[in-house]
């Protein structure tokens, strides 16, 4: 569930053009030692074995970091060349780490291919310069350490979850600005999602790390957001989140489809509605699926219709209260013969989740006019808290992120 193995591609990370900066080497050895103290192995993964002053790099790092550093030589013995699919599997077998407990640190095109073909999250070091835009960029080994120590080592990434029949939905933590134990990070999340303030980088890394280290991303085919209430709204936090999620999806060939779900008519905002006014119809009659959704990083839509038959779509939203918006997304995806995994940052406390049973008849690719409010089954809040420790951990990493130091 948490990070256990970091594979480093030395070229462009430890050194570049046959040379290595002394401060990089010192920080790298410090990083390796800190990771080892936390139960995480750092190993080298490359076709060629680099040397420093006549000493092989893994021996040098082992001596300086004072912990064992192995070199897995791609293309030799049981280890295939890195760009081939499944080439990381022999390493996982040797180390005992799972795929979703492993990250790759590398900055070259070959590293991109190794990451994509193996389903590894790629963290791209930039202290020797940038050669590509792929992966999640870190400017220093300190930034790499912060990502690993604050986000990747979480033991409790999922707080609340329902897995019942065709309904799969989960959240990282509880949402409330009134309960003291949730208020600090809850208020910040609300600022980020609703006011374009707060600390968006924290929430972006929390989302990415949760989806990866929980293994959720490996079980889906596409990723998309649930649209906001106002179809005319542009910019703000949505643009930033779209960019982050697009980058994330590329790591696994899971296309991020920004406009897969289209809000064609403005819906009512549930926070201003009375309980009896909160309906599925508010969403069912204001969204539909785009037949030719555009990938976020491409200017033009595809020529062919995207077929969802037997495909699973990960739908990402900020907060889930009663679940009517996310369950609407599920209903439309299922009407298109696909299945859905629903994910929200936070789940509003003490509110049930409502799930349509049965779904109304929908044409998924056009506006619908559902006349009668669908019948629904409710899932209680407390009964679906799967890990109560997740809330405290979320507060802990929120404070750790803001006060983190590489010193």
Q: Which pLDDT band, with edges at 50, 70 and 90, does 272 fall under?
A: low
Peptide bond into 298 cis (omega under 30): no
Do 137 and 88 belong to one domain?
yes
Q: What is the pLDDT of residue 274?
A: 77
Rounded Cα gap, residues 394 and 207, in angstroms: 12
Residue with tokens 């948490």, as numbered in its chain: 2
Does 404 reside within a domain?
no
- pLDDT band at residue 232, thresholds of 50, 70 and 90? confident
- Tokens read off for 127: 């202290």
DSSP for residue 79: B
Instruction: Name the helix (H) or strand (E) containing 7.
Output: strand 5-8
Distance CA 40, CA 182 (A): 29
CB hemisphere CA count around 397 (13 angstroms)? 27
State what percent of residues in the chain have pLDDT above 70.
Answer: 99
Kindly tell me if the per-residue pLDDT of 269 is higher than 80: no
Whether the pLDDT of residue 390 is over 70: the answer is yes
Domain annotation covers residue 135: yes
Structure confidence by residue, pLDDT tens digits, 151-196: 999 999 999 999 999 999 999 999 998 898 899 999 999 999 988 8
Whether residues 204 and 322 share a domain: the answer is yes
Q: Does 402 reside within a domain?
A: no
pLDDT digit string, tens, across residues 101-160: 999 999 999 999 999 999 999 999 999 998 888 999 999 999 999 999 999 999 999 999
**Residue 302 pLDDT > 90:** no
- Would you state the pLDDT for residue 277? 76
- Asked if the structure places residue 406 within a domain, the reply is no
Long-range contact set of residues 73-77: C-beta below 8 Å, sequence gap at least 24: 73/46, 73/47, 73/49, 74/45, 74/46, 74/47, 75/47, 76/47
DSSP string, 81-108: -TTSTTTTHHHHHHHT--GGGEEEE--S
pLDDT score recorded for residue 83: 96
When divided into structural domains, the chain yields a total of: 2
Q: How far apart are CA 401 and CA 281, in angstroms?
A: 40
Q: Is residue 114 part of a domain?
A: yes
Is 70 exceeded by the pLDDT of residue 271? no
Q: What is the pLDDT of residue 247?
A: 94
pLDDT(266) > 70: yes
Instruction: Dump pLDDT digits (tens) for 310-332.
Output: 999 999 999 999 999 999 999 99
Q: 367 and 245, same structural domain? A: yes
Same structural domain, 82 and 177? no
Which strand ranges, in their side-by-side order, compose the sheet holding 167-175?
Answer: 160-164, 167-175, 339-348, 312-320, 222-225
| pTM score, whole prediction | 0.96
User: By residue range, what is the domain housing residue 109?
Assistant: 5-152
Write phi, then psi, for 163 (nearest 5 degrees): -135, 90
Residue 215 scores a pLDDT above 80: yes
Least Cα distance to 157 among 106, 115, 198, 217 occurs for: 217
If we measure between CA atoms, which residue out of 17, 35, 18, 23 comes closest to residue 8?
A: 35
pLDDT tens sequence across 10-42: 999 999 988 899 999 999 999 999 999 999 999
Does some domain include residue 87? Answer: yes
In this structure, the answer to whether residues 181 and 290 fall within a common structural domain is yes
């Amino acid at each position: 569930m948490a990070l256990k193995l970091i594979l480093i591609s030395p070229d462009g990370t430890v050194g570049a053009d046959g040379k290595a900066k002394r401060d990089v080497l010192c920080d790298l050895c410090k990083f390796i030692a800190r990771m080892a103290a936390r139960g995480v192995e750092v190993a080298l993964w490359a076709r060629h074995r680099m040397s420093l002053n006549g000493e092989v790099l893994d021996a040098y790092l082992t001596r300086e970091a004072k912990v064992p550093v192995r070199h897995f030589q791609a293309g030799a013995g049981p280890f295939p060349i890195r760009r081939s699919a499944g080439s990381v599997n022999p390493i996982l077998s040797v180390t005992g780490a799972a795929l979703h407990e492993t990250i790759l640190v590398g900055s070259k095109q070959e590293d991109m291919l190794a990451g994509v073909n193996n389903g590894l999250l790629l963290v791209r070091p930039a202290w020797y310069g940038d050669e590509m835009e792929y992966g999640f960029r870190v400017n220093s080994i300190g930034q790499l350490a912060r990502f690993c120590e604050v986000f990747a080592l979480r033991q409790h990434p999922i707080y609340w979850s329902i897995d019942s029949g065709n309904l799969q939905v989960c959240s990282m933590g509880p949402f409330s600005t009134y309960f003291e134990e949730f208020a600090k990070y809850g208020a910040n999340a609300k600022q980020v999602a609703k006011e374009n303030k707060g600390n968006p980088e924290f929430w972006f890394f929390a989302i990415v790390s949760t989806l990866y280290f929980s293994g959720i991303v490996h079980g889906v085919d596409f990723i998309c957001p649930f649209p906001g209430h106002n179809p005319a709204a542009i910019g703000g936090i949505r643009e930033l989140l779209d960019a982050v999620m697009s980058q994330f999806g590329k790591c696994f060939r899971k296309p991020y489809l920004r406009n897969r779900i289209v809000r064609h008519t403005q819906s009512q905002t549930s926070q201003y509605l009375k309980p009896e006014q909160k309906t599925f119809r508010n969403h069912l009659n204001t969204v539909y699926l785009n037949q030719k959704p555009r990938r976020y990083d491409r200017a033009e839509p595809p020529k062919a219709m995207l077929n969802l038959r037997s495909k699973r779509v990960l739908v990402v939203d900020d907060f889930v209260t009663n679940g009517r918006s996310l369950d609407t997304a599920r209903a439309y995806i299922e009407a298109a013969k696909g299945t859905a995994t629903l994910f929200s940052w936070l789940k509003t406390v003490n509110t049930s989740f409502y799930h349509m049973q049965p779904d109304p008849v929908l044409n998924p690719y056009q506006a619908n006019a559902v006349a009668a409010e669908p019948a629904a089954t409710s899932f209680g809040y407390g009964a679906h808290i799967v890990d109560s420790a997740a809330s405290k951990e979320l507060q802990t990493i929120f404070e750790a992120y803001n006060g983190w130091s590489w010193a």
